[in-house]
């Protein structure tokens, strides 16, 4: 039975590297996969990229992308063994449901990787639905500067100061976000 998986973590936990390793494992065994990443993150250039240097080409999704139709068209041409989605927090709720349908009706495993929460500690809409309906939830671990598990994503300004206001989504990497444990996240925001 195919399942919908959600691998979630704070930033810098190796989500993209984990996705690329899973993709490699399928492909090494001669199985076809289909990779997706968010068009919103224009830094990727249509690629899933990890901080440790691994990367692979991917299809881009927007809020309007019909993932069911796109995947089924590819699957009809030649069977897919797995669909892998990076930056899954940017999926729309209906897109998550269509990915679940791929697992349930087309028997294609779907592995989604993304952030659970934003810089305020609030769920992203795509992540909220994934947490609610995924068959398997897997937390990947990142480490705070204190050595505890990092579960939060602190947004910082160009001087490294905590930011507590703004749009939910602002694309950036280590220059804009710091993975912290909840204690240090709360302390940083209290000082903002």
For the annotated catalytic residues, the residue numbers are 87
Beta pairing, strands 110-115 & 55-57: unpaired
Rounded Cα distance between 58 and 110, Å, is: 15
Q: How far is CA 99 from the centre of its chain?
A: 14
Supply the DSSP string of 21-48, one letter for each residue: HHHHHHHHTT--EEEEEETT-GGGSSEE
Helices assigned H by DSSP within 38-177:
67-77, 93-105, 125-133
Q: What is the dihedral of CA 38, 43, 44, 50, to 10 degrees?
A: -110
Q: Is 154 helix (H, G, I), strand (E, B) or coil?
A: strand
Residue bearing tokens 């791929």: 102
């Amino acid at each position: 039975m195919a399942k919908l998986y959600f691998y979630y973590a704070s930033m810098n936990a190796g989500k993209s590297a984990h996705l690329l390793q899973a993709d490699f494992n399928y492909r090494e065994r001669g199985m076809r996969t289909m990779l997706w990443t968010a068009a919103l993150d224009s830094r990727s250039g249509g690629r899933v990229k990890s901080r440790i240097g691994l990367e692979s080409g991917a299809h881009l999704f927007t809020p309007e992308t019909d993932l069911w139709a796109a995947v089924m068209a590819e699957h009809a041409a030649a069977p897919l063994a797995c669909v892998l989605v990076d930056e899954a927090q940017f999926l729309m709720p209906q897109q998550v449901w269509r990915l679940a349908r791929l697992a349930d009706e087309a028997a294609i495993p779907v592995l989604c990787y993304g952030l659970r929460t934003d810089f305020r500690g609030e769920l992203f809409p795509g992540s909220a639905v994934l947490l609610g309906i995924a068959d398997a939830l897997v937390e990947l671990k990142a480490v705070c500067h204190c050595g505890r598990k990092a579960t939060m994503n602190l947004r910082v300004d160009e001087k490294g100061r905590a930011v507590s206001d703004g749009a939910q989504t602002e694309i950036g990497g280590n220059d804009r976000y710091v993975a912290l444990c909840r204690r240090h996240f709360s302390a940083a925001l209290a000082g903002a």
